Amino acid sequence: MEFFRRALCAALFIALPSAAAAFPAQSGIVLNLGTGRALYAHKADLALPPASLTKIMTLFLALDAVRNRQIFPDSLVKISRSAANTGGSTMYLRAGERVTLHDLLAGMAVASGNDAATAVALRLSRGKSGNFVGRMNAKARALGLRHTRFKNPTGLPAPGQTSTAREMALLARAYLRAHPQARALHALPAVTHRGRALHNTNGLLGAQGIDGLKTGFTSAGYNIIVTAGNGGTRLLAVVMGARDRAARDAAVSELLARGFGARK
């Protein structure tokens, strides 16, 4: 009898997840994109730097402005020296050149251009980026994002700029529901500016039905928002604070597997 008890305990031990099988990022969540229902979460309310996931809010406000006819996709935006010199991820804008709003939005969505985000923010706030950041935070409050604070339109590191995986998921869902046409921007494999091909920073496009949405990185870790479809079900997953790209991608894979499994 003791032999069978030990055998049963051993079998149960093997079946349980090991420490090595822990979720491979600091935080994550997957939700049904249609209903908004969370299907699985791991420390989804942990405050972390959003990095370039911040650009989803910048894109959101820009597309709001287009919808309100305050600016048009083919409007030319003059690139200031401060925008061109923003630093970090870039679409290689030059001071003084004029670029259409559409191309700047594509540069943000695909190449995660900090220069593009800064140029758009300055254009929409008449050169006062602080005013644009105020609008970002007002929009966050209107969406019910109580734990999200923006300090710039790019996601470059700034004290106090934090969010959570849950609130980034809520933001991304609201963005796509308000501007479904934005999906086409995020699904582009590459864009070209002045003859230079800029490839999508989201290397997961096409895997597991993934068709978007945005990557981000700071010293605090690797972040990503993905959208994916399979068999009529669409999911939105957020990973924050992964130690490297491999861990980030593993976390995405786990979230999507759990999400698509939960649809049954």
Instruction: Just list the catalytic residues.
Output: 52, 55, 112
Total residues found in the chain within this entry:
264
Q: What is the DSSP letter of 18?
A: P
Structure tokens given for 257: 């597997």
Please give the C-alpha separations between residue 65 and each of 68, 70, 263, in angstroms, as whole numbers.
5, 5, 36
115 and 93 Cβ atoms separated by less than 8 Å: yes
Q: What is the 3-state secondary structure (H, E, C) of 125-181?
A: CCCCHHHHHHHHHHHHHHCCCCCCECCCCCCCCCCCCEECHHHHHHHHHHHHHHCCC
